Structure 1
Amino acid sequence: MITGNKGEWSEIYALFKLLGDKQLFLGNKDIEKLEGLVYPIIKILRSENNGNFEYSIQDEIILISGNEEILKIPISEFKDKALFLLNAIKKNKERTFSIPEIEDFMQSINCFSLKASSSAKTDITIVVHDQRTNQQPTLGFSIKSQLGSPSTLLNAGKTTNFIFNIVGINLTENEIRDINSIASRSKIMDRIVQIQNKGGQFVFVKTERKIFSNNLVLIDSLLPEILSQIVFDFYSSEFSNLTDLVNKTADKNPLNFDIENEHKFYEYKIKRFLTDVALGMMPSKVWTGKYDATGGYLIVKENGDVLCYHIYNRNEFEDYLLNNTKLDTASSSRHGFGEIYEENEELYFKLNLQIRFTK
């Protein structure tokens, strides 16, 4: 029996829904359909552990090839099963669950697992017809579902810690212990406030891991400084949405960019960063800057719509990433941040970067 969580079942839902719709809708920054922009779907490719399968659309029939025999399934069946599956995912309260009626249908169409083969870079690959260019690009997607809990874009780790030097004060061991023992719900913000109240200032030094720093510098040489400001503002203010944090940083203009002509330096650079994270940059691995050329997201909305964001339509993709992400506080004990520590008679404080989708 196949079991999975809401996000995993959403992958199968997306397959059924897209085959039923026969077209791919593009989304805007507010996760609404972009009017007048659709890609007719020619076929969907899916890697299973027992081989690769093609789901080709021909009028009102789906042709499924990959095994010796070619299956022919009416599109209406995919529409019906998509609706049934959507309701089943929404209704279910368990962390993981099975849906026997859907499993039977899956097996009849050579679909044996919820997730595409782990060797595949993408969850689903779609060949579309682009009416603007008259081309048939092959687009690969990761599937993000709003039916479950919001997923992370950048996972926390010691790899994503930013190190700050505390300057302007000398603290006794007792004072350090008192500040580090603050255990309120907003303990990290409260510790920062205490340090500032005593006259301390936070000066960014570096990221904890060199690889992450170099990855950031590869994207933009000033990214470590810009992100350090955004991370600090997150922990020391009420803002968490990236749009707010970027605007706040732009207003302060800590890097003294020439903004006389209203260049959006900070927004532009953060969008580049988010795009690279979305398309493969990981803090712990050397980033070459090469995207998986077929990179993008399919968003399964709560109402069942499936919207596409793709590097092929870069502006919409970047706007979506910036407008639908926020910073999040990970476990400070696990990732080793949020406490004053001493090194070579200097005081330091680490803050962590984790980015999550807002829904």
Structure 2
Amino acid sequence: MITGNKGEWSEVYTLFKLLGDKQLFLGNKEIEKLEGIVYPILRVLRTEKNDDFEYSIQDEIILISGREEVLKIAITEFKEKAKILLEKIKASKERTFSVPEIEKFMQSINCISLKASSTVKTDITIVIHDQRTNQQPTLGFSIKSQLGSPSTLLNAGKTTNFIFKISNLKLSKLEINKINSIDSRSKIIDRINFVLNSNGQFNFVKTERQIFSNNLILIDSKLPEILSQIIYEFYSSSKSSVTDLTHRTADKNPLFFDVSNEHKFYEYKVKRFLTDVALGMMPSKVWTGQYDATGGYLVVKEDGDILCYHIYNKNEFENYLFNNTKLDTASSSRHDFGSIYEENGELYFKLNLQIRFIK
């Protein structure tokens, strides 16, 4: 029996739903359908552990090829099974669960596992017909489901720590221990406020790992400083959405950009960063700027609709990321941040960057 969580079952639901709909709907930044732009689906490609399978749409029939045989399944079957599976996913209260009535149908269409093979970066690959260009691009997608818990865009680690120097303040070891022992629910903000109320100042020095810094500089030379300001804003205020934090940072303009003509420097650079993270940039690995095979996201909404965001439609993709992500606080003990420490007679404080989808 196949068991999985809501996110994993959402991958199978996506396959059924797309084949039933026969078309891809583009989404806007509010996660609603973009009116007037639809991509007819020609084929869906899926890699299983034992083979590659192709689901071709021909009128009201799905042709499934992969091994020697070619299966023919009516599109109405996919529509019906998608509806059943959506109800089961939404109704489940368990962390992992099985759906026996769907499992039988999965086996009949050579869909053996919930997740695509781990050897491929895409969750699903779709060949569409772009009526504007008359092209038939093959687009890879990662599936983000709102039916389960919000997923992370950038995972926390010591690799995503930003180091700040505390200036204008002298503290004894006893005072440092006193501040670090603050253990409230908002302990990091409270520790920051203690320093600020003692006339201390926080100044960004560098990221903890040079490789992450260089990745950021490759995207934009000012990005380490911009992100440090956004992170500091997050930990020292009640704001968490990327849009709010970016706009607050832009209002303060700590990098003194010339905004006399209202250039959106901060927003533009943050969008580039989010896009590169979404398409392959990892803090621990050298980033070349080469996007991986997953060129975008399919978002499974709570009502079961599926919306497409892809670098193929760059503006919509960037706006989706910018408007639907937030900063999140990871474990400070695990990732070693949020405490004052001394090094060569100077005081330092680390803050961590983790980015999560809002839904």
User: TM (normalized to structure 1)?
Assistant: 0.99
Q: Distance in 1 between matches of 2:173 and 2:199?
A: 17
Matches within 5 A, 1:1-359: 1-292=1-292, 295-359=295-359
The 3-state SS of whatever aligns with 2:43 is: strand
Per-residue CA deviations over 1:4-46 (Å, capped at 9, x if unaligned) read 0000000000000000000000000000000011000001000
The Cα shift of 1:175 comes to 1.2
The Cα shift of 1:292 comes to 2.0
The 3-state SS of whatever aligns with 1:276 is: helix
Q: Distance in 2 between matches of 1:294 and 1:160?
A: 23
Q: Distance in 1 between matches of 2:103 and 2:223?
A: 46
Q: Distance in 1 between matches of 2:169 and 2:76?
A: 71
Per-residue CA deviations over 1:282-324 (Å, capped at 9, x if unaligned) read 0001101000255100000000000000000000000000000
Could you tell me whether the CA contact under 8 Å between 1:138 and 1:294 is conserved in 2? no
Q: Distance in 2 between matches of 1:161 and 1:346?
A: 18
Q: Distance in 1 between matches of 2:219 and 2:122?
A: 23
The Cα shift of 1:174 comes to 1.5
Q: Distance in 1 between matches of 2:357 and 2:121?
A: 21
Q: Distance in 2 between matches of 1:256 and 1:274?
A: 22
Q: Distance in 2 between matches of 1:293 and 1:72?
A: 29
The 3-state SS of whatever aligns with 1:135 is: coil
Which amino acid counterpart does residue 178 of structure 2 have in structure 1?
A: D
The 3-state SS of whatever aligns with 2:289 is: coil
The Cα shift of 1:235 comes to 0.2
Per-residue CA deviations over 1:241-276 (Å, capped at 9, x if unaligned) read 000000001000011000000000000000000000
The 3-state SS of whatever aligns with 1:159 is: helix
The 3-state SS of whatever aligns with 2:192 is: helix
Q: Distance in 1 between matches of 2:196 and 2:251?
A: 21
The 3-state SS of whatever aligns with 2:290 is: coil
Q: Distance in 2 between matches of 1:151 and 1:293?
A: 19
Could you tell me whether the CA contact under 8 Å between 2:142 and 2:294 is conserved in 1? no
Could you tell me whether the CA contact under 8 Å between 1:300 and 1:306 is conserved in 2? yes
Per-residue CA deviations over 1:194-236 (Å, capped at 9, x if unaligned) read 0000010000000000110000000001000000000000000
Q: Distance in 2 between matches of 1:111 and 1:50?
A: 10
Q: Distance in 2 between matches of 1:291 and 1:197?
A: 45
The 3-state SS of whatever aligns with 2:312 is: helix
Q: Distance in 2 between matches of 1:294 and 1:50?
A: 21
Q: Distance in 2 between matches of 1:130 and 1:69?
A: 30
The 3-state SS of whatever aligns with 1:204 is: strand
Which runs of no fewer than 5 residues in structure 2 stay unpaired? none
Q: Distance in 2 between matches of 1:177 and 1:158?
A: 22
User: TM (normalized to structure 2)?
Assistant: 0.99
Tell me the percent identity: 79
Q: Distance in 1 between matches of 2:77 and 2:67?
A: 21
Could you tell me whether the CA contact under 8 Å between 1:54 and 1:65 is conserved in 2? yes
Which amino acid counterpart does residue 143 of structure 1 have in structure 2?
A: I
The Cα shift of 1:121 comes to 1.2
Number of positions where the alignment pairs a residue of Structure 1 with one of Structure 2: 359
The 3-state SS of whatever aligns with 1:82 is: helix
